[in-house]
Structure formats: structure tokens, C-alpha cells
Amino acid sequence: MNQENNNENNIEKNLENKEESVVVDNVTEEVKVDESPVEEMKVDEKPIEETQVEQTNPSEPVMTKTIDYLDNSIIFDMKTVDIKDMSELSSSDSEPAIDTSMYDHNIIDIKQNRIVSARVVDITDKGIFVDIGFKSEGMVMKDEFSEIPDINDEIKVYIKSFEDSKGNFVLSKQKADFEVKWQELRETFEDDGLVQGKIIKRIKGGMIVELGGVQGFLPGSQIEVYTVADFDKYIDLECDFKIVKFNEIRRNIVLSRKELLNDEMKEKRQEILSQMEVGMILEGIVKNVTEFGAFVDLGGIDGLLHITDITWGRINHPSEKISLGEKIKVKVIDFDVKNIKISLGMKQLEENPWSTIESKYSEGTKVKGKVVNLMNYGLFLELEEGIEGLIHISEMSWTKHIKHPKDIYQINDEVEAVVISLDIAEKKIALGIKQLLEDPWESIENKYPANTNHKGTVKHFTQYGAFVELEEGVDGLLHISDMSWTTIVKHPSEILSLNDEIEVKILEVSSEERKLGVGLKQLQEDPLNAYKPGDSVSAKVVKVLDKGIIFSTNESIEGMISFNDLSDSEKDSLKDQYKLDEEYNLTVSEVSNSMKKIFFSSKNIETDKD
């Protein structure tokens, strides 16, 4: 029922205030319809459609028209037209033809993220306005132009957005230039071609190259065929580059200048080798410096300059004489055409200093030089570049005991010496420092004769004694056995201190053996000489030990009653008899100079105290 009501309303709208013409069997009848709504429309299931229109005014009759769509007359009355006559019908059509010529040109496919041609229509302080055939004009910022175009100039722009947050049509010239250049670089990379660019700045690891709207990275190792030290000198350099890496995803390009230079050098290498001879003097640039030498670029081929061939003198590293990128002259020592190896030398450009050394450094000649090396056995003195002499540690002082040269000298110290010997075949020079001074040992026996007393200063301790300086450069050895008659000394520090001023006696002296012995105890008579067996001596008990009883005489000489060969009862009896700190009269049974003591008899002992 709802469907019938909807149909009824549709018909009502179509028939309201209109005239309807119904053509049936080529007969046209005009039917006027009142503005009253159609009350009902029935659709029969048969192929005959009945349309009933009932007027609201009951006095007027209701008109009903029935159409049979299966009637053959509908089909038979149709006009048949041949296809050949279509052109005549078309030309005879009464309706005027529509002019579409205005759409036949300037039709472009405008889409976002695309490069299109644009015409400059206006130039303002804010930007450049262009027409790309869109419904509105777009603007490109002035700072995207290296040169401001003129009105009506054609330029390429990139459609970034049809509308930004402010409703503006967003275009970019820089982006268009980038995409155009990127496509050009892609083709160059695929064709293994070259691209021209300008190095504009330095960054970590290399340089940035401007390629005309696109920037590429030039690694530091790809600038030259040798290691570059000064990168700044390449800024603003314009040259050709080879694209070695083209990354579409990350939009970056890696360039190389080194590969182009290598290609150029391949042709030069064979030319250089074909003309090379041993002894030739060439000019080259230091390409790389290592610990064992340097590689020199000879203009297309590298040669090795070994560290031993850089100078006749001593160097620890090639960088002491040459630097990276330096232009130097070298001599060809040897070369191998098959393996393309060239050995070079710098020192060979100068005369070998050893060829004239005999006239300069004969034996006995006084020389001056610079300390270049310190070893535990001596030092090396550079007399001139390529000439060094050895000063052995034994040739540094007549009297001092030197443990290591560094205790006295340092690297680069200026030292004067005397040539002791010269061996041209072995290229060795022996030097001495002490020879510049008089040997004090030649007159030592006259200056310090035996049994004479002299004053000196304690300078050094050892386990076996102390060295006493009698004068600068002359030391005498004071042995621990010569420090005291009565006390056994285990270390000199028990009696002496460093820098003590003491008097000693010369015990022995030898200029040939360079020895000087002194004594301290010899300044006095040996107190043990005053005792002999059988003498009666007064002594005080200082210790009671298991091995015996220890006494001390008035002269501080140690005495002892030994318990050797005594029975236990006899030992106990003696221990009970002698008390600590008590004095007793004792009989000397033995005097021992080696043990620095006297022994008392344990028999016929007086028991009375003094």
C-alpha cells in the first residue's frame, strides 16, 4: 500500500499544472488534469496498463486511457533508417552544434606531487605568481629563485599541495629543480657517466658537492689518490666527479674524484716506467706516510721512500723530515717493471758524510754534538747529520760510578767530547767525556798516601759499607768491618748517616786498580790489644743467655763466660752465682780479635764481689 501511495505522489507531481500529451496509434490527445491529487493508481498483473484519474469534482466525468504495449501497431508504425542516411539526419538536425574548440588545447593532467610548466603572471615582494592552467594561480617564494624571472617566462614548478592551512595553492621551484636534476643524475649513474660539480663545504668525513640543485657527498678518501691533510684548499674547486653510489630511498649520492684520477694515471704509469732508469732524479708529492717510510706520487705511479733512505742521519719517524702533500725530489734506487715497484731515496741526493770523515774526526779531536739516544750502556752523540758517535758509560767520568746516562744527560743536550777511536769500515766513532779532564787517579797515591788521615762526607750507603767523598770525583770505600773495633756492624746506617762529615784514615790506595780504601776504627788503637790471657778484669753482667753469661768491661769491650763443655748443674750454678748489673773480678782466658770480644774462665772464679 505504501508503494502505491508513493507512486501516486510521483504522478501527482508530474501532472500538477502541466499538460500531458499521450501518443497512441499516431493520435495525439490533450488531457487537462485538475490540480486535485490522484487518489489511486492500480497496476494489473496483465501486460495492459490502466491509468485512472479521478477528479475531485464528482460532476465531471473521469477519463481513463488504456494502452496495450503488446499491440503490433506500436512496432509496425516505427520508422526504419539506414546507417547511410545518418549523416543526412545529423546535418538536418534542427538543434545547433556545440562549439568545443575551446577545450582542444591547454588541457593538462594536474595532480599533486607532480612537475608542471607554469607561466609567470605577476611578481610581488611576497613571491612569484604563476599560472599552471588550474582554477587558481599559485605562488612561489622569491628565495627559491637564484634569478628573478620576467613576466610570461615559462618555468618548471612542483605541486606540493592544492591547498594549505590558509587555502593557498602551494608550489615549489626548488623541488622541481631537484626532481629534474635527480632524474638527470639517475640517467648519468646508469650510463656510468660523469657529472660536474663544485665543492662548497667541508663536513665530518669529507666534502659536500653542489651538483646544480642536488648535493652529493665526497668522502675524504675519494678526493685524491693520496691521503689528504688539508681539506680546506679544495673548497670552491669545480671539476668532474663519478657517481659511485646512488640511493633512491634515502635520496643521497656518493661521489668520487679519485677514480677519475686513477683512470688518468693508468696511462701515465706505463709511459713513466718505459722511460725510467736507475739514478734518475724525479719530483713527486708525498702521498702517504707510514712508520717504515713514505709513498711518493711520481705523476701516475707511486714509489716507496724507505725511512733508511730519507736521510743519512737518525730519525724515528719519516714525519720528522717530510710531511703529507709535500713536494720533494727523489732519486730512483731500483724499480721492477713487472711488479710495478719503484724504490726511491732522498739521502742519495747528497754526498755520504762518511766519505770525508777521516779528515774531520781524527783520533784526539775535540767535538761537540747533540744527544740523540740514551742507552743503559752509554749515549749516542750526533756530530752532524749522518755521523754519530758512542760515549760509553765508562768514558763519562774518571771517578763517578754512573748507573745510567740519563742520570746525567737528556735528549738534545749539547755535549763536548773527545774522539777516542775511528772505524771507517764499521762506521763507528768512540767518544769520551772524561778525557777532557785530568785523570785524578794518576796522582792519587801522592795526594792520598796510605796511613794518612783525611776528612770526607758520607755520600752513599751499600750493604757492605759507605762511600766517603774526599774531594769532587774522589770517593773512598769505608767497609763495615772498618767502622768499629768492638761492635759488629751489620749496616753502615747503624753508625753513620748520609752527609755526615767524618775523619777517616787511608788504608790502601792504587792508581792502577783505581781503588781507595778508608777506615774509621783505625783512627784509634784496638782496645783488645790491652788484654791478654791471665789478666784480671773487672766487668759487669749485662745478659744471661743459654749459651753463656755476657759481660761488659769499662772500655765497653764485650766479655763472655761460655757454657760450652759444662754440665747442666754447672750452668745452673753459674747462673745463680752471677746477677744482672753486678760487677765481678774475672780472669781472661782468650782474646778474639775476629769476634771482637774476650772470654773469661769459668774455673777458679772468685765469688766475692768488688
β-pairing, 127-131 with 293-297? unpaired
Considering the domain architecture, whether residues 550 and 592 belong to the same structural domain is answered as yes
Considering the domain architecture, whether residues 365 and 302 belong to the same structural domain is answered as no
Considering the domain architecture, whether residues 234 and 165 belong to the same structural domain is answered as no
Q: Which amino acid is at 531?
A: Y
β-pairing, 327-336 with 302-306? unpaired
β-pairing, 387-392 with 428-432? parallel
Per-residue model confidence (pLDDT) at position 168: 67
Considering the domain architecture, whether residues 126 and 167 belong to the same structural domain is answered as yes
Taking alpha carbons only, the member of 105, 108, 104, 103 closest to residue 132 is 108
Taking alpha carbons only, the member of 318, 224, 341 closest to residue 272 is 341
CB 213 within 8 A of CB 144: no
Distances (CA, A) of 223 to 126, 259, 394, 417: 42, 9, 56, 52
Considering the domain architecture, whether residues 156 and 207 belong to the same structural domain is answered as no
CA distance 198 to 333: 41
375 within domain boundaries: yes
- Averages of pLDDT over each 10 residues, the chain, 610 residues: 48 43 37 40 42 46 57 59 57 48 49 76 84 76 80 82 68 81 87 90 92 89 82 90 89 88 72 82 90 87 91 88 91 84 90 86 91 93 90 87 90 93 90 88 85 91 91 86 84 91 91 87 81 85 87 82 86 86 86 82 55
- Residue whose cell numbers read 606540493: 160
Residue-number span of the structural domain to which 173 is assigned? 115-177
Alpha helices by DSSP H, listed for 106-250, are 173-190
CB 307 within 8 A of CB 292: yes
269 within domain boundaries: no
**End-to-end Cα distance, the chain:** 164
CB 345 within 8 A of CB 382: no
Using the 3D structure, point to which of 462, 490, 523 is the last residue of a domain: 523
Considering the domain architecture, whether residues 151 and 199 belong to the same structural domain is answered as no
> Does the predicted model carry a pTM greater than 0.75?
no
- Give the list of residues 6+ apart from residue 48 with CB closer than 8 angstroms, or none: 66, 67, 68, 69
90 within domain boundaries: no
267 within domain boundaries: no
Taking alpha carbons only, the member of 561, 549, 554 closest to residue 539 is 554
SS3 assignment for 7-31: HHHHHHHHHCCCEEEEEECCEEEEE
Q: Residue 509 maps to which CATH number?
A: 2.40.50.140
Residue-wise pLDDT tens digits, 27-63: 333 334 344 443 443 434 444 444 444 444 444 555 5
Counting residues of the chain whose pLDDT is more than 70, the rounded percentage is 78
CB hemisphere CA count around 474 (13 angstroms): 22
Cell numbers of 297, please? 706520487
387 within domain boundaries: yes
Q: How many CB atoms lie within 10 A of CB 556?
A: 10
Taking alpha carbons only, the member of 327, 330, 326, 322 closest to residue 347 is 330
Taking alpha carbons only, the member of 453, 464, 450, 468 closest to residue 504 is 453
Using the 3D structure, point to which of 177, 201, 224 is the last residue of a domain: 177
Per-residue model confidence (pLDDT) at position 219: 93
271 within domain boundaries: no
- Look at residue 149 and give its three-state secondary structure: coil
Per-residue model confidence (pLDDT) at position 117: 81
Residue-wise pLDDT tens digits, 375-429: 999 999 999 888 999 999 999 988 777 889 999 999 999 999 999 999 988 889 9
Residue-wise pLDDT tens digits, 427-486: 899 999 998 988 877 888 888 898 899 999 998 899 999 999 888 778 899 999 888 887
Distances (CA, A) of 317 to 283, 324, 472: 22, 13, 41
Per-residue model confidence (pLDDT) at position 235: 92
Rounded to whole angstroms, the maximal C-alpha distance in the chain is: 193
Number of separate domains in the chain: 7
Taking alpha carbons only, the member of 178, 155, 157 closest to residue 169 is 157
β-pairing, 302-306 with 341-345? parallel
Buried b (16+ CB within 10 A) or exposed e, 32-44: ebeeeebeebeee
Considering the domain architecture, whether residues 464 and 519 belong to the same structural domain is answered as yes
551 within domain boundaries: yes
Q: Of all helices (H) and strands (E), which one includes residue 199?
A: strand 194-203
Using the 3D structure, point to which of 523, 554, 582 is the last residue of a domain: 523
Q: Radius of gyration (Cα) for the chain, nearest Å? A: 62
CB 480 within 8 A of CB 510: no
Q: Of all helices (H) and strands (E), which one includes residue 88?
A: helix 86-91
Q: Which amino acid is at 353?
A: P
Count of helix runs (H) and strand runs (E) in the chain: 8, 34
Considering the domain architecture, whether residues 323 and 374 belong to the same structural domain is answered as no
208 within domain boundaries: yes
Per-residue model confidence (pLDDT) at position 386: 86
Considering the domain architecture, whether residues 550 and 587 belong to the same structural domain is answered as yes
Q: Of all helices (H) and strands (E), which one includes residue 270?
A: helix 258-275
